[in-house]
């Protein structure tokens, strides 16, 4: 849907610029108007080309192809580097989502552990979708907690 709207805007803007070019070209009668119209034609042609290129880039960019879901989402932390301050969350749909420490809503040092269950909003960053307003809802279980306790050894006397 977003692609269709963007494409329609680009086409309408291009048609408007072409109409402007036609009017300028058709109404030039003296030298001053010709110079002015050539300048305007150049500017309008550049603007039309720029609109077409920008529209094409936005339509083809990966960020515009991502459907950003509304509402809070959940996923597991795939990995997080506290030194660098970023990591990735594996969404329930299997796709990875970038997370920056500035979006983690914890007091003190903000970090996540591998396999933490988190809840977040999905936003659009410079390079694509990102996790925003990240909250840990369940801490990852440590390996030592998953190992069953040994039964006490009874001494035979």
Burial classification of residue 119, based on how many CB atoms lie within 10 Å of its CB (0-12 exposed, 13-18 middle, 19 or more buried): middle
pLDDT of the chain along its 157 residues, tens only? Answer: 455 666 666 766 776 677 666 666 666 555 456 556 666 666 667 777 766 776 666 666 554 444 555 678 899 999 988 889 899 999 888 889 999 988 888 776 778 888 889 999 998 888 889 999 999 888 877 644 433 444 455 555 5
DSSP secondary structure letter of residue 104: B
Cα 73 → chain centroid: 15
* 39: its two tokens: 């300048």
For residues 87, 120, 67 and 6, what is the CA-based torsion angle, rounded to 10 degrees? -100
Q: Would you say the pTM of this structure is higher than 0.85?
A: no
Give me the architecture of the 73-139 domain, per CATH. Answer: Beta Barrel (2.40)
Nearest to 146 by CA among 119, 115, 112: 115
């Amino acid at each position: 849907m977003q692609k269709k709207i963007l494409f329609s805007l680009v086409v309408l803007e291009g048609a408007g610029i072409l109409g402007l070019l036609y009017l300028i070209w058709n109404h030039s009668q003296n030298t001053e108007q010709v110079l002015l119209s050539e300048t305007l034609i150049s500017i309008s042609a550049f603007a039309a080309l720029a609109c077409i290129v920008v529209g094409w880039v936005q339509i083809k960019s990966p960020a515009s192809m991502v459907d950003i879901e509304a509402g809070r989402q959940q996923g597991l932390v795939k990995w997080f580097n506290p030194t660098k301050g970023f990591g990735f969350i594996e969404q329930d749909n299997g796709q990875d989502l970038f997370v920056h420490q500035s979006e983690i809503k914890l007091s003190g040092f903000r970090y996540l552990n591998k396999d933490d269950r988190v809840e977040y909003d999905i936003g659009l960053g410079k390079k694509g979708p990102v996790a925003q307003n990240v909250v840990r809802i369940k801490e990852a279980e440590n390996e030592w907690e998953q190992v069953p306790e040994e039964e006490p050894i009874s001494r035979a006397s």
